[in-house]
Amino acid sequence: MSINIFRFCSIMSSALLGACAFLQPAYCGWFVFIYLIPLFYSIATSSVATNCVHYRFIDGFLWGCIFFGLHMHGLLRVILDHAQGKEAGVLSWILLIIYCSFYSGIWFWLAEKLSSFFVKPISRILCWLLITFCFFYFVEHGILWIFGRFEGYPFAVPLLPLAAHPSWLFCLPFFGSSCLTIVLFLIPVFFSLYLVHKSIFYQVSLFFTLLPFLIGWFWHEEKMKVPNWLHKVGVVVPTLVSSNNPFECAQEITYCLMNYCERNHNVRILIMPESSYPFALNEHPEAVGMWAQNVLFDDKILLLGSHRRSGKKLFNTFYCIKKRRIIFSYDKKHTIPFIEYLPQPWNNSKFLQSLFLNKKEQFNVSQKPRTPFSPIKKVTMLPYICSELFFAKNKENNQEPIVCIVNDSWFSACSMRTLLYLVACYKALAWQQDILYVAQSKICLINKKSLSYDLSSL
């Protein structure tokens, strides 16, 4: 096999295996252990072979086009389903893939440059390990800086597919995300070196790097203890809003709530996903009155996602309603580029506003702190709205259970819905905090060990 064919096969197999881990995490999540082996194996063999494999920028760019193109296909589905101008939307998606692939090209180029200063296989492959970790750290924390905020793409975290089976991530709270990621990358390093050199040292090293991921399968709990307050919670997912009339939308929600309460008489807290009532609720008191008259008696509480207007500003808001009063509201502190707002300088273009926002009003970012609330006695929750949880870099200084309302109806049946849920599982385990996850496609309580209790069948 020629060097060029070997290099091409290494790139293709690595990118495809990596993408499959995120596309089908329940079945292929374990691919995160092996998708870097083709690259690291070629580096290990190039140190002992006559003809050496040297990667270039274009090789990394190709890797990125395959990986990010497959990984972000859900965004393409959103554009095709919701954007006004399909052609311009697809072009924007292609430019995003090219942009992300540019950094994977830098990853390959920089790793090859650094490793060229060394001759020993272990030194060269450790150079690749260092730059690989830096690349994925940048993807997780900063690759989306071009949109006006230094934040990353949380759905490509190397450990994320393993959250489909939490036993793999038993050691995450002890190691931390960065440290466990390095251990993850050491697995293909030692496996590749063992294949080339057949050394007992690399075999033993491989075993010890696998140990933090295997230990959870023996010590991890299979059943979760359901807290008593959860039996008082009911989640209602409304049908897709079929009317642009606020009153008619409130009627549809009323029917959904009444039907649910007829089947579940003991529920005290009713929760609905993000943007269930897609109008400024503070401007439509008749909606609150309708729900109070038909549903919110016997001390029932309604938590739902809606909007709030303050002057000329529109906010994405979490409401807590008791009888005819809004007793608590929280405004979202994070907005999604090109879906909830247009970043600078693109916000000056009327064409882009009509293309991405479909002429809808942009949301504003709240500056108020996040505060816990108590819908009923002895039950305290911490509100999160959709992307606030997914893009959160640090844990709040609070141990109360999180209630996160999500609108995943943007993503029709595709892997992005699963990745949204897995990020919540990952955060629950990393933060050691229970998360009540409320979305259109998934309704469950995720505990501190990332075990989930499904509420959708109730």
Task: Answer for the pair 248, 359: CB distance below 8 angstroms, yes or no.
Answer: no
Amino acid letter, 155: F
Q: Residue 276's beta-bridge partner residues?
A: none
**pLDDT given for residue 48 in this prediction:** 47
Alpha-carbon distances of 231 from 49, 282, 379, rounded to whole Å: 64, 30, 12
**pLDDT given for residue 457 in this prediction:** 62
Q: Is the pLDDT of residue 78 over 80?
A: no
> Which range, 38-47, 108-117, 129-138, is most confident?
129-138
Q: Is the pLDDT of residue 47 over 80?
A: no
Residue range 7-19, pLDDT digits in tens: 899 999 999 999 9
Please give the span between the terminal C-alpha atoms of the chain, in angstroms, as a whole number: 58
How far apart are the C-alpha atoms of 200 and 189, rounded to whole Å? 14
Task: Answer for the pair 388, 403: CB distance below 8 angstroms, yes or no.
Answer: no
Integer-rounded Cα radius of gyration of the chain: 24
**pLDDT given for residue 327 in this prediction:** 93
**pLDDT given for residue 354 in this prediction:** 60
**Average pLDDT for 329-343:** 82
Q: Is the pLDDT of residue 434 over 90?
A: yes
**Average pLDDT for 430-446:** 94
Q: Which of 153, 174, 186 is nearest to 68 (CA)?
A: 153
Percent share of the chain, pLDDT over 90: 60
**pLDDT given for residue 346 in this prediction:** 62
H or E element, residue 234: strand 233-235
**Average pLDDT for 362-385:** 90
Q: Is the pLDDT of residue 51 over 60?
A: no
How far apart are the C-alpha atoms of 112 and 54, rounded to whole Å? 7
At residue 329 the predicted structure's pLDDT band, cuts being 50, 70 and 90, is very high
How far apart are the C-alpha atoms of 168 and 186, rounded to whole Å? 16
Task: Answer for the pair 335, 387: CB distance below 8 angstroms, yes or no.
Answer: yes
Residue range 177-190, pLDDT digits in tens: 999 999 999 999 99
Q: CB atoms < 10 A from the CB of 454, how many?
A: 10
**Average pLDDT for 296-321:** 92
How far apart are the C-alpha atoms of 206 and 191, rounded to whole Å? 6
In the predicted model, what is the mean pLDDT of the chain? 88
**pLDDT given for residue 161 in this prediction:** 97
- DSSP character string of 86-127: HHHHHHHHHHHHHHHHHHHHHHHHHHHHHHTT--SHHHHHHH
Alpha carbons within 13 angstroms on the beta-carbon side of residue 402 total: 31
At residue 266 the predicted structure's pLDDT band, cuts being 50, 70 and 90, is confident
Higher per-residue pLDDT: 241 or 125: 125
Q: Is the pLDDT of residue 357 over 60?
A: no
How far apart are the C-alpha atoms of 53 and 51, rounded to whole Å? 7
Q: Who contacts 416 (Cβ-Cβ below 8 Å, separation ≥6)?
A: 74, 75, 77, 155, 408
Residue 349, sorted as left (phi over 0), alpha (psi -120 to 50) or beta, turns out to be beta
Task: Answer for the pair 269, 234: CB distance below 8 angstroms, yes or no.
Answer: yes
Q: Which of 367, 314, 361 is nearest to 342 (CA)?
A: 361
**Average pLDDT for 427-436:** 96
How far apart are the C-alpha atoms of 362 and 349, rounded to whole Å? 13
**pLDDT given for residue 220 in this prediction:** 62
Q: Is the pLDDT of residue 50 over 60?
A: no
Q: Please state whether the peptide bond connecting residue 345 to the residue before it is cis, i.e. omega within 30 degrees of 0.
A: yes
At residue 268 the predicted structure's pLDDT band, cuts being 50, 70 and 90, is very high
Q: Is the pLDDT of residue 375 over 50?
A: yes
Higher per-residue pLDDT: 199 or 183: 183
**pLDDT given for residue 221 in this prediction:** 64
Q: Is the pLDDT of residue 203 over 60?
A: yes
Amino acid letter, 397: N
Q: Cα angle vertex 337, ends 333, 338, to 5°? A: 135
At residue 351 the predicted structure's pLDDT band, cuts being 50, 70 and 90, is low
Q: Which of 202, 267, 230 is nearest to 444 (CA)?
A: 230
At residue 87 the predicted structure's pLDDT band, cuts being 50, 70 and 90, is confident
Structure-token match 């466990």, residue found: 180
